Amino acid sequence: MTWGVIVFPGSNCDRDCIHVLRAVAAQDVVEVWHADRQLDGVDALVLPGGFSYGDYLRSGAIAATAAIMPAVRAFAASGGPVLGICNGFQVLTETGILPGTLMRNAGLRFRCMPVFVRVESADTPFTAALPPGAVLRIPIAHGDGRYLADPSTVSSLEADGRVVFRYCDAVGRTTSGSNPNGSMAGIAGIANAAGNVVGLMPHPERAGEALLGSTDGLRLFESAVAWLHARRAVLQGTAR
C-alpha cells in the first residue's frame, strides 16, 4: 500500500513515521508537502507529531490552515484511513475533522514516557486487527494532551464506540494514576463517525521495534494495511 505522511513546517516525527512504515511495515511512502493541494495515489494518510508552526496560538491551529488540508478533508470524507498522531491529532481537532480539543496537560508539564492504553474499539482501520480490550505499551511525548469536549460530545463518543484508546495501567485498569494528562474519561484517542479517521496522543511509531522497547504501536499500522487489503479485495470483487 502507499502511505502519505504530511510534512508541516515544524513537524518532527514525520521522518520517524516514514521509517516505521517503510523499513518495518514494508509500505510505500510518499512525503506530502503542506503547501501541496493534491493527494494523489495514497491509500492511507498520517499526520505526524511535532510542533507545527511552533504550536503558536494553539497546538495544530495554524497547520489546520495549510493548503493541503482541504485535500485531507476530502480524503477523510471519501473513507480513506487517516491517522493523526500527537500534533497530528491536534491538527485534526482544530480542523473539526475530529471533535473536541487538546488542552495543556493538567500537570502543566511536557511528559515523555511509555504509557499503557486500552483498545476500546475495533471499528477503525487501525484497530480492526486488535482484540478489543488489548493493552498496548506506547510512549507519549506532549505538553498539550488533555482531551476536552463538551459532556454531550463525550457521551456520544462513548455511546458510538468512537473512543478508540483509553489510558490504563499495565493490566488494563483505568485509574487516576494511569491518566498522564488529565484527559476527560482518560481518552487517549478517538475516531470520526465513520471510523476511518483516528487521532491519538501516544506515538505508535515509537513502539515499532523491539529494540526501542515495544512493538505494540506497529500493530496499528499493520491493522490498517490488512484493512486496506481487505477493502481492495472487496472492491475488486464488486468490480468483477
Partner 1 sequence: MPTFRVTIMLKPGVLDAPGQAVEHGLRALAYEVEHVRMGKVVDLTVPESMRPRVVEMCERFLANPLVETWQIDERETAS
Partner 2 sequence: MTLAAPTDAATRAGLSARDYREVCARLGREPNLIEARMFGVMWSEHCGYKHSKKALRRLPSSSPRVLTGPGENAGVVAIGGGWALAFKMESHNHPSAVDPYNGAATGVGGIIRDVLAMGARPAALLDSLRFGPLDEPRARRLFGGVVAGIAGYGNAIGVPTVGGEVLVESCYRDNPLVNVACLGLVRADRVATSAAAGPGNAVLYAGARTGRDGIGGAAFASAELDEQREAADRASVQMGDPFTGKLLIEATLEALGTGAVLAEIGRAAAGLTCASSEMAARGGAGMHLDLDRVPLREAAMRPDEILLSESQERMLLVVRQADAARVAAIYHRWGLCAEVIGTVTAEPRLVVESRGRAVADLPPEALASAPAYDPEAEIPGEIEARWDLDGAPLPAVDPADALLRLLRHPDIASKRAVYEQYDHMVGLRTVVTPGADAAVLRVLEAPPLGVALAADGNARWCTADPRRGAALAVLEAAANLACAGAEAVAVTDCLNFGNPERPQVFWTFLETLDGIADACRALEVPVVGGNVSFYNEAEGFGGTRAVSPTPVVGMAGVVEDVARTAPPGFVRDGDLVVLVGEVGGTLGASLYARVVTGEVRGRPADPAFESSVRAIVLVRDVVRAGLVTSAHDVSDGGIAVALAEACIHGGRGAWVALPPQAAASLGEALYGEGPGRFVASVAPAQLDAFLALGHAREVPVQVLGTVGGDALRIATHEHSIPEIDMPLDVITAAYHSLEV
Q: Which stretch binds partner 2 (CB under 8 A): 16-24, 70-78, 155-163, 229-237?
A: 16-24
Query: In the bound complex, what is the minimum distance in angstroms from residue 10's beta carbon to partner 1?
Result: 9
| Cβ–Cβ < 8 Å for 190, 150 | no
Q: Residue 109: phi, psi to the nearest 5?
A: -95, 145
Q: Is residue 212 part of the contact set for partner 2 (CB under 8 A)?
A: yes
Pick what 12 binds: partner 1, partner 2, none; C-beta below 5 to 8 Å, kind-dependent.
partner 2
Closer residue to partner 2, CB minimum distance, 136 or 149: 136
Place of cell 521522518: 15
Distance between CA atoms of 119 and 132, rounded to whole angstroms?
Answer: 5
3-state SS, residue 157: helix
Residue 203 is among the residues annotated as catalytic for this protein: yes
Residue type for 82, please?
Answer: V
Angle between helices 69-77 and 87-95 (to 10 degrees): 80
Catalytic residue among 17, 34, 94, 205: 205
Contact flag: residue 37 with partner 2 (CB under 8 A)? no
Q: Is 96:65 a contact under the CB 8 Å cutoff? A: no
Report the relative pairing of strands 82-85 and 101-103 from DSSP bridges.
unpaired
Helix (H, G, I), strand (E, B) or coil at 204: helix
Annotated catalytic residue within 13, 17, 86, 168: 86
Q: Would you say 106 or 230 has its CB closer to partner 1?
A: 106
51 contact choice in partner 2, partner 1, none (CB below 5 to 8 Å, kind-dependent): partner 2
- Alpha carbons 191 and 89: distance in angstroms, whole number: 10
- Is there binding between residue 19 and partner 2 (CB under 8 A)? yes
* Site residues (vs partner 1, CB under 8 A): 53-54, 56-58, 61-62, 65-67, 94, 100-101, 103-108, 146, 148-150, 182
CB of 142 to partner 1, least distance (A): 14
User: Residues 6 or more apart from 55 whose CB is under 8 A from it?
Assistant: 10, 87, 90, 144
**Contact pick of 5, 43, 47, 53 for partner 2 (by CB under 8 A):** 53
In the set 30, 128, 141, 226, which binds partner 2 (CB under 8 A)? 141
Residue 196 has φ and ψ, to the nearest 5°, of -85, -15
Q: Does 16 bind partner 2 (CB under 8 A)?
A: yes
User: What is the number of alpha carbons within 13 Å of residue 73 lying toward its C-beta?
Assistant: 14
Q: Is 86 considered catalytic here?
A: yes
Q: Which residues bind partner 2 (CB under 8 A)?
A: 9-10, 12-13, 15-16, 19-20, 50-51, 53-56, 109-113, 139, 141, 143, 203, 205-206, 208-209, 211-212
Catalytic residues: 86, 203, 205
